[in-house]
C-alpha cells in the first residue's frame, strides 16, 4: 500500500514536470522569449523561430509576426539577405509549422492524466494511464516534427547567405524542453503502472462444487474441466454424439478426487467386513444347540404322520370285528324272515 502511494506521488511529479515543460514550449515566440531555433547574424541581428510565429531583432528593435497556427517565412524578407544562387528561400512553411499543434494536445492529455492520478482507484488509474499514453504519443510526434522543421530552417539560413556574412543558427531551448518532457512523461507512465492496484479476485464455483478465486471463470477452472472443454471442441469438430462426450467427461475426473474417493471406499469396505465378522460371532453365540433347538416343520409333520398311522393300526381290528358282528346279525335276520315266509 505504501509502495503504491509513493509510486503514485512520483508519477504525479513526473507528469507535472512534463506538463510544465510542454507548456513553456507552447508559450514560445512570439508570445514569450522561448525559442525552437535562434540565428545570429554578423551585424548583431537575431532571428528567433517559435511555434506560432517568429521574431526579428535588430538594433534593439523587435519585430514579430502575428500569432498563428502555421506560419511562412522567406529569407528575402530579411534585411541582411544576399542572393546565394541555388539556395532555398523558404525558411519555414505553413503546413509544417501547423503540425506543431500536437504540442497543445500533449499538454492537455498530460494535465488530464495528472488530475486523474490524484484518485487512488483502479479504473481511474487506468484512465490516467490511457491519457498519459496519448500525451506521450503527442509529445513524441511534436518532438519529431520540431526536429524536422527547425533543423531544415537552420540549414536554409546557412545556405541562403554569402560566406562573407556570418550566420550562426542553433536549436533553441524548447527543443531540449520537449525531449525532457517526453522522458518525464514516460517515467510518469511507468510509475502509474506501479501504482495500479491489482484486480479483486471473484469467487467462482467450478463444476465440482469447489469455491475458488480468480479474475475470471476460465482462469478459475481446474485442469479437469479444461480437458472437458477440449473434448467438447473435438466433439464440435468431429460431429461425435453427446453421449460419447459425456462418457469421456466422466472418465476424465481429476485424479486427486478419484484417489480420495477410492481411499474412502476402501475404508468403508474394511469397516463393513469387520462389522460382518462381529455379527457372525454374535450369531454363533446366540444360536441354540441341536438338542435344545425346536423341531423343524418337516420333522413335526413326520411325527404327526407316524402318530396317525399308529392310531389307524389300533382302530383297524376294532373296525373289522364290528363289521363282522353286523354282518352276522344281518344274516340271522334274513334267515328269520325267510322262515316266516315259508310257514
- Residues 63-79 pLDDT 10s: 888 888 888 888 777 77
Summarize pLDDT for 284-326 with one digit per residue, the tens: 655 554 444 444 555 566 666 666 666 666 655 666 656 665 6
Q: Label residue 5 by pLDDT band (50, 70, 90).
A: very high
Contact 71, 65 (CB under 8 A): yes
Rounded distance between C-alpha atoms, residue 173 and residue 37, angstroms:
8
Cell of 72: 511562412
Looking at residue 257, what is its pLDDT?
55
Q: pLDDT-derived band of residue 195, with 50, 70 and 90 as boundaries?
A: very high
Distances (CA, A) of 263 to 223, 249, 256, 270, 271: 22, 22, 11, 11, 12
pLDDT at 226: 66
**Predicted TM-score of the model (pTM):** 0.58
Give φ, ψ of 63 to 5 degrees: -120, 115
pLDDT class of 264 with cuts at 50, 70, 90: low
216 CB neighbour count, 10 Å cutoff: 11
Q: Which residue has the cell 382302530?
A: 315
**C-alpha torsion sign, points 31, 33, 35, 39:** positive
Mean pLDDT of the chain: 75
Cα of first residue to Cα of last residue in the chain, in angstroms, is: 154
Between CA 142 and CA 182 the distance in angstroms is: 10
Pick the residue with more confidence: 242 or 22?
22
Q: Using CA atoms, how far apart are residues 79 and 59, in angstroms rounded to an integer? A: 12
Are 85 and 70 within 8 A, CB to CB?
no
Q: What is the mean pLDDT of residues 29-34?
A: 87
3-7, 34-38, 122-126, 204-208: segment of lowest average pLDDT? 204-208
Q: Which long-range contacts (CB under 8 A, 24 or more apart) does 146-152 make?
A: 146/36, 146/100, 146/174, 146/175, 146/178, 147/175, 148/96, 149/36, 149/92, 149/96, 149/97, 149/100, 150/36, 150/37, 150/49, 150/175
Amino acid at each position: 500500500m505504501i509502495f503504491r502511494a509513493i509510486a503514485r506521488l512520483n508519477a504525479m511529479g513526473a507528469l507535472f514536470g512534463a506538463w510544465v515543460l510542454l507548456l513553456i514550449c507552447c508559450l514560445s515566440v512570439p508570445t514569450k522569449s522561448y525559442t525552437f531555433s535562434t540565428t545570429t547574424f554578423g551585424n548583431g541581428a537575431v532571428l528567433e523561430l517559435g511555434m506560432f510565429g517568429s521574431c526579428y531583432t535588430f538594433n534593439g528593435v523587435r519585430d514579430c509576426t502575428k500569432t498563428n497556427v502555421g506560419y511562412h517565412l522567406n529569407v528575402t524578407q530579411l534585411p541582411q539577405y544576399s542572393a546565394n544562387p541555388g539556395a532555398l528561400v523558404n525558411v519555414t512553411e505553413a503546413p509544417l509549422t501547423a503540425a506543431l499543434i500536437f504540442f497543445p494536445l500533449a499538454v492537455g492529455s498530460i494535465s488530464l492524466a495528472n488530475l486523474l492520478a490524484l484518485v487512488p482507484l483502479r479504473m481511474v488509474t487506468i484512465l490516467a494511464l490511457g491519457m498519459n499514453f496519448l500525451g506521450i504519443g503527442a509529445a513524441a510526434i511534436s518532438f519529431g516534427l520540431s526536429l524536422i522543421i527547425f533543423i531544415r530552417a537552420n540549414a536554409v539560413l546557412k545556405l541562403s547567405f554569402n560566406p562573407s556574412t556570418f550566420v550562426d543558427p542553433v536549436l533553441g531551448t524548447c527543443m531540449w524542453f520537449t525531449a525532457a518532457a517526453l522522458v518525464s512523461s514516460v517515467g510518469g507512465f511507468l510509475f502509474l503502472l506501479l501504482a495500479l492496484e491489482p484486480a479483486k479476485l471473484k469467487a467462482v464455483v467450478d463444476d465440482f462444487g469447489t469455491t475458488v478465486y480468480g479474475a475470471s471463470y476460465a482462469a478459475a477452472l481446474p485442469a479437469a474441466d479444461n480437458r472437458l472443454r477440449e473434448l467438447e471442441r473435438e466433439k464440435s469438430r468431429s460431429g461425435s454424439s453427446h453421449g460419447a462426450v459425456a462418457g469421456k467427461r466422466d472418465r476424465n475426473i481429476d485424479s486427486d478426487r478419484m484417489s480420495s474417493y477410492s481411499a474412502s471406499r476402501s475404508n468403508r469396505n474394511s469397516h463393513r467386513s469387520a462389522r460382518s465378522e462381529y455379527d457372525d460371532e454374535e450369531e454363533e453365540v446366540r444360536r441354540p444347540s441341536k438338542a435344545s433347538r425346536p423341531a423343524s416343520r418337516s420333522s413335526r409333520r413326520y411325527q404327526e404322520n407316524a402318530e396317525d398311522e399308529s392310531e389307524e393300526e389300533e382302530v383297524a381290528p376294532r373296525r373289522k370285528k364290528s363289521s363282522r358282528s353286523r354282518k352276522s346279525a344281518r344274516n340271522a335276520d334274513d334267515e328269520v324272515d325267510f322262515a316266516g315266509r315259508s310257514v
